[in-house]
Amino acid sequence: MRAWLGAALCLAALAPADASVLSDILQRGALRVGTTGDYPPFTRLDKSSGEYSGFDIDLAQSLASSLGVRVEFVPTAWPALAADFSAGKFDVAMGGITVTLERAKLGFFTTPYLREGKTSIARCADKDKFATLEAIDRSGVTVLTNPGGGNERFDRAHLRAARIEVRPDNTTIFDALAHGEGDLMITDASETRYQQKLHSGVLCAIHPDTPFDFGEKAYLAPYDPPLDGFLDQWLHLIKENGTFATIYAKWF
């Protein structure tokens, strides 16, 4: 027992005092950002070019610049996000991630950077039909959703009579909705505003200022005090110096 304890103490003494995820990022010279690429305006992957764009993509670039490293985007998907994060495939998850207690069990959520909640979006001609969950949850109503994320969980928790149709690609749902495939989608208010802008006069966000529930967006990182402290300080500074507001205005 004493020999084992002595060896453990020697190993602890040899370990660098500043070993952390943050020091790994700095030594690597790259920040690995996990993102789904299917949730504009937060994150979007152009499959033809392989390039990412979006609100959180711009903020990831800002974060990497603040660290003095390059950014590497690691593809993930909503059903695989928790497993990929737990497996250490990336240093931080970014891209319209809603704070949940289940996700909070996995790691550290930064100070939330956006407050919102779930609401519906439908063809403008039908917007008055779906103002409440009671009006939505009726036989004959089809609600489109993307798989594995907060939207599907919300639908299954609140809808019993309506038909929930899962579409594999979140980026095509709104075009499908505009063309009459399904009646509505329930998603984050920020996304309904963005898609209303893209489909002006065709799709309408339904009461995005008074959503069905409360939600917040934040970034998910491992439990690592140096990195977690840096993330919160970076968010605080970019909100104070105008960087956050400039990027927000670009996308919203």
Cβ 220 vs Cβ 180: under 8 Å: no
**pLDDT averages per 10-residue partition of the chain, 252 residues:** 40 52 98 95 94 98 98 95 97 96 96 95 96 97 92 96 92 93 96 93 96 96 97 98 95 85
Q: How far is CA 185 from CA 7, 102, 109, 136, in A?
A: 59, 23, 27, 10
Q: Are residues 100 and 167 in the same domain?
A: no
Tell me what pLDDT residue 5 has: 37
**Residue 214, amino acid:** F
Q: Are residues 111 and 122 in the same domain?
A: no
**Strand, helix or coil for residue 88:** coil
Q: What is the domain extent for residue 173?
A: 118-206
Q: Is residue 2 a part of any domain in this protein?
A: no
What CA–CA distance (Å, rounded) separates 180 from 122?
10
Q: Is residue 109 a part of any domain in this protein?
A: yes
Q: Are residues 127 and 200 in the same domain?
A: yes
CA 70 to chain centre: 21
Q: Are residues 199 and 221 in the same domain?
A: no
Sheet of 220-221: strands edge to edge? 70-75, 30-35, 92-93, 220-221, 108-109
Q: Are residues 107 and 182 in the same domain?
A: no
Q: How far is CA 181 from CA 9, 38, 139, 252, in A?
A: 64, 19, 16, 26
Tell me what pLDDT residue 10 has: 41
Q: Is residue 70 a part of any domain in this protein?
A: yes
Tell me what pLDDT residue 169 has: 77
Cβ 137 vs Cβ 154: under 8 Å: no
Q: Is residue 103 a part of any domain in this protein?
A: yes
Containing 102, the helix (H) or strand (E) segment is: helix 101-104
What CA–CA distance (Å, rounded) separates 228 from 174?
35
Q: Are residues 100 and 225 in the same domain?
A: yes
Q: How many domains does the chain contain in total?
A: 2
Tell me what pLDDT residue 252 has: 81
Tell me what pLDDT residue 171 has: 76
CA 184 to chain centre: 21
Tell me what pLDDT residue 18 has: 62
Tell me what pLDDT residue 7 has: 38
Q: Are residues 244 and 182 in the same domain?
A: no
Kindly report the CATH number assigned to the domain that includes residue 189: 3.40.190.10
